[in-house]
């Protein structure tokens, strides 16, 4: 079981039902229906989509135990961290870095946007720099998250002679095999592609002393549990294992018991949803045109960087095309787009060259997109957990964001 535990998990608030949402039901309409089918055979209480934001106040500020300069890590790595403007760690970084440096297994439970990537990258970079032939395997649910982690790796690495390989589907496996053969200290990949590379004998797991399972709950949701077990079975028995998740339910608890040895558990999760996300519903009146309501919303100046979630690849592509035809700068990402097109769309949105990104749930986990003003659930999420991860794209850090969910 868990050896030690840090932090606490807070409760959640459901907020008021339909608290001033757009397009309230007409007088005499059905105001008592409190749940909606998601399209996947499940119902979600729509009261859970309404909650007032509670911005972080100075009295709630976290007091860290360490500054980055205090950690016992390589001086060049400290300089690289300082060059990025990192001085004070976030809670997950403050509590995680030392146990990882001590080569302890770690379970990290944290909301999105808390800085957990740096929490494991910084001590693992130090481990590779100071250890003989140390290698790290990082397993993630999506190619976008793999690329994001690799980007952070490159930023922290600076001019250090450390190398990485990103391995995921939708890109040339031949190029990925070549990257592995050149020698990579960090291999970052999705479970399916990693399994393929292992079976081709292009990736030897027994050469890795550390494995990170990032967004483990999302990998379970996406059906990767068999691939995860296949990968873990090939790892060296004396490995260091780090597991990060937004939730610690019975399934994740089972993986922790199966994969980790006497882990330190670090929880900085504050509740089901970010407390600084203002959540509301958009109620459609009978006969009202959904796309027209969306159009009128997006015309407002405060909707300056908007992430819209749809349920299907086809629906997401069609909605982005419709918005472009109406004069909006919109992009789309979904599983039917190749990697270069997905990355281009994501970069356009990150760099504020497009106002709107329309996405399937592939973008709901792990991606760090700065300054998203609004998340709009154009289609209902499959589960409330999916809703939580969708709206976690806004209100990151100490900023306030807004999340709106269409209800028919």
Non-local CB neighbours of 190 within 8 Å, separated by 6+ positions: 139, 140, 141, 142, 143, 146, 167, 168, 169, 224
13-56+275-407 is classed in which CATH architecture? 3-Layer(aba) Sandwich (3.40)
Q: Which tens digits make up the pLDDT trace of 88-128?
A: 999 999 999 999 999 999 999 987 678 999 999 999 999 99
Q: Is 243 helix (H, G, I), strand (E, B) or coil?
A: strand
Range with the lowest mean pLDDT among 7-16, 182-191, 332-341? 7-16
Residues 6+ apart with CB under 8 A from 31: 18, 25
Domains 13-56+275-407 and 62-267 share a fold: yes
Which is nearest to 124 in space by CA: 160, 88, 172? 160
Contact between 111 and 248 (Cβ < 8 Å): no
Q: Which of 72, 60, 62, 70 is nearest to 92 (CA)?
A: 62
SS3 47: helix
What would the pLDDT profile of 284-313 be if each residue is shown by its tens digit?
A: 998 899 999 999 999 999 999 999 999 999
* Spatial distance between the Cα atoms of 23 and 256, rounded to a whole number of angstroms: 45
pTM, full prediction: 0.74
**pLDDT band at residue 5 under the 50/70/90 scheme:** very low
β-partners of residue 45 are: 35
Q: How many helices (H) and strands (E) does the chain have?
A: 13, 16
Let me know: does 266 contact 92? Beta carbons within 8 Å. yes
Q: Coil, helix or strand for 291? A: helix
User: Sign of torsion, CA 152 155 156 159?
Assistant: positive
Task: List pLDDT tens digits, range 211-264.
Answer: 999 999 889 888 899 999 999 999 998 999 999 998 888 899 999 999 999 999
**Domain 62-267 top-level CATH class:** alpha beta
What region does 93 belong to: left with phi over 0, alpha with psi -120 to 50, or beta?
Answer: alpha
Which two structure tokens, joined as six digits, stand for 318?
A: 């069609």
Query: Domain coordinates of the chain in residue numbers?
Result: 13-56+275-407, 62-267
């Amino acid at each position: 079981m868990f050896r030690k535990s840090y932090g606490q998990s807070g409760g959640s608030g459901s907020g008021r039902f339909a608290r001033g949402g757009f397009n309230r039901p007409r007088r005499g309409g059905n105001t008592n229906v409190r749940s909606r089918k998601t399209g996947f055979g499940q119902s979600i209480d729509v009261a859970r989509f309404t909650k007032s934001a509670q911005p972080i106040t100075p009295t709630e500020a976290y007091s860290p135990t360490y500054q980055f300069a205090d950690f016992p890590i390589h001086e060049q790595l400290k300089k690289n961290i300082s060059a990025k403007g990192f001085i004070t760690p976030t809670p997950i970084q403050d509590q995680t870095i030392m146990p990882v440096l001590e080569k302890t297994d770690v379970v990290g439970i944290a909301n999105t946007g808390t800085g957990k990537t740096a929490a494991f990258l910084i001590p693992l970079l130090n481990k590779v720099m100071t250890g003989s032939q140390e290698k790290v395997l990082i397993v993630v649910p999506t190619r976008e998250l793999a690329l994001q982690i690799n980007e952070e790796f490159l930023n922290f690495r600076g001019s250090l002679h450390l190398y990485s390989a990103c391995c995921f589907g939708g890109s040339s496996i031949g190029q990925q095999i070549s990257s592995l053969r050149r020698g990579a200290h960090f291999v970052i990949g999705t479970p399916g592609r990693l399994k393929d590379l292992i079976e081709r004998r292009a990736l030897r797991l027994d050469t890795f002393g550390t494995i990170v399972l990032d967004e483990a709950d999302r990998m379970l949701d996406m059906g990767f549990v068999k691939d995860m077990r296949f990968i873990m079975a090939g790892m060296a028995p004396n490995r260091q294992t780090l597991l990060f998740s937004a939730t610690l339910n019975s399934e994740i608890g089972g993986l922790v018991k199966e994969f980790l040895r006497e882990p330190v558990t670090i929880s900085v999760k504050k509740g089901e949803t970010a407390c600084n996300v203002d959540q509301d519903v958009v109620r459609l009146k009978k006969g009202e045109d959904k796309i027209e309501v969306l159009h009128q919303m997006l015309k407002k100046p405060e909707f300056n960087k908007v992430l819209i979630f749809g349920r299907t690849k086809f629906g997401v592509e069609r909605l982005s095309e419709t918005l472009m035809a109406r004069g909006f700068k919109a992009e789309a990402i979904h599983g039917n787009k190749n990697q270069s097109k997905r990355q281009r769309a994501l970069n356009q949105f990150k760099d504020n060259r497009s106002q709107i990104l329309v996405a399937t749930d592939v973008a709901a986990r792990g991606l760090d997109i700065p300054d998203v003003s609004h998340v709009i659930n154009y289609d209902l999420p499959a589960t409330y957990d999916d809703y939580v991860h969708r709206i976690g794209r806004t209100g990151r850090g100490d900023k306030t964001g807004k999340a709106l969910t269409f209800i028919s």
